């Protein structure tokens, strides 16, 4: 079946450095790729998303890139800050659904002061 692989499972970076999280999806018909940030005890918060007609999208310190040929997409966070510490999830839409998402397993991002 369809799946999304996410790496790494844990990422520790120095404050001010950049962080990159990568996801690979299996369904070539997936066309929507959101990224969510989840802090302890809270629900996932949408931080950025990209659709398959775009290769890159940026919002201040956060950017997402999509390579449809290779079926992978990445989250880039620059100038990391302590408040960026959280679990980040990638997801991909299912081909035969306009609402169901397949989720990655999550990346725990730790920002070291």
* Nearest CA among 46, 47, 68, 44 for reference residue 56: 68
CA dihedral 79, 83, 87, 92 (to 10 degrees): -60
Q: Which is nearer to another protein, 72 or 104 (CB)?
A: 104
DSSP letter assigned to residue 84: G
Q: Is 11 in the site for another protein (CB under 8 A)?
A: no
Q: End-to-end CA distance of the chain, in Å? A: 41
Q: Is 32 in the site for another protein (CB under 8 A)?
A: yes
Q: Which of residues 40-99 bind another protein (CB under 8 A)?
A: 41-46, 49, 51, 89, 91, 93, 97-99
Contact set with another protein (CB under 8 A): 31-32, 34, 36, 41-46, 49, 51, 89, 91, 93, 97-101, 103-106
């Amino acid at each position: 079946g369809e799946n999304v692989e996410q790496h790494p499972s844990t990422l520790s970076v120095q404050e001010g450095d950049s962080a990159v999280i990568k996801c690979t999806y299996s369904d070539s018909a997936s066309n929507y790729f959101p990224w969510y940030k989840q802090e302890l005890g809270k629900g996932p918060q949408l931080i950025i998303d990209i659709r398959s007609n775009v290769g890159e999208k940026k919002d201040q310190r956060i950017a997402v890139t999509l390579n449809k040929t290779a079926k992978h997409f990445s989250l880039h966070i620059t100038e990391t800050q302590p408040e960026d510490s959280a679990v980040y999830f990638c997801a991909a839409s299912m081909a035969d659904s306009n609402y169901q998402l397949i989720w990655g397993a999550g990346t725990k991002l730790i920002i070291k002061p």
